[in-house]
Amino acid sequence: MRLIVGLGNPGAKYARNRHNIGFMALDRIASDHGFAPWKAKFQGQAAEGRLGREKVLLLKPETYMNNSGQSVGAALRFYKAEPDDVIVLHDEIDLAPAKVKVKHGGGHAGHNGLRSIHAHIGDSYARVRLGVGHPGRKELVPGYVLKDFPKADDDWLDLVLRGVSDGAPSLADGDDARFLNAVAMQVNPPRSGTGTKGPAKDKPQQTTKPATPKAPETSTKEAAAPDNRSALQRLADKFR
């Protein structure tokens, strides 16, 4: 059994908060992959289904973000699963919007939801870090993550959620590279062209004008007139 957890806060008030992108991702996966209806379970909302060859429980803790570990721990104990079977999807302020990365183990980097999960099941679970950007100053972070995504973010947010859903079977199967590729295919799809230039249009061939035939060359000297002199006159002219 794979346990895929999305982090967020319960209630319509928080539904579009940056902090709730984990909830959004799970809702998209459940809808696209035909999961059973959500049911109140493990101090949260749970839905069962399959992703590829893996049986999966999707879990949205309703303990509020800071106590997410209570819900995750309860589900883990019920299924007698190991922390390695858990994948947590959460907002990540240290990644630019639309950036997605996968991490295994390590610290919680100050994320209160992860901090709580660490306390209940340890740190050897996987995380899908969904970039939402940083407000610029540390003291602005709480207010930033508890604000709704602006309408201007709708396009990239939808593409990320589509990509996460497309890659969910690979994620459940432990194939991080294929999962991230599915996300990239939505967020940064390849160009429709092949990258090669199409055939150049044929240029009209230059036509060579036929050489104008040269006019017959003429001498600069006029042709001699017929000599009608008598032999005696020609002889006399020679000695003049």
Answer yes or no: 134 catalytic: no
Going by the DSSP 8-state scheme, the letter that residue 56 receives in this structure is E
Nearest to 179 by CA among 234, 230, 127: 127
What's the rounded Cα separation, in Å, for the pair 8 and 19?
Answer: 6
Cβ neighbours around 176 below 10 Å, total: 17
Active-site residue among 19, 33, 111, 118?
Answer: 19
Nearest to 70 by CA among 17, 112, 28, 12: 112
Please check whether residue 131 is in contact with residue 100, taking contact to mean a CB–CB distance below 8 angstroms: yes
Query: Residue 93's Cα: distance from chain center in Å?
Result: 18
What's the rounded Cα separation, in Å, for the pair 129 and 90?
Answer: 6
Name beta bridge partners: 59: 5, 46
What's the burial of 58, exposed, middle or buried (CB within 10 Å: 0-12/13-18/19+)?
buried
Residue with the two structure tokens 């990540």: 92
What's the rounded Cα separation, in Å, for the pair 17 and 70?
Answer: 22
Nearest to 132 by CA among 153, 152, 111, 115: 153
What's the rounded Cα separation, in Å, for the pair 151 and 178?
Answer: 30
What's the burial of 171, exposed, middle or buried (CB within 10 Å: 0-12/13-18/19+)?
buried
The residues carrying an active-site annotation are 19
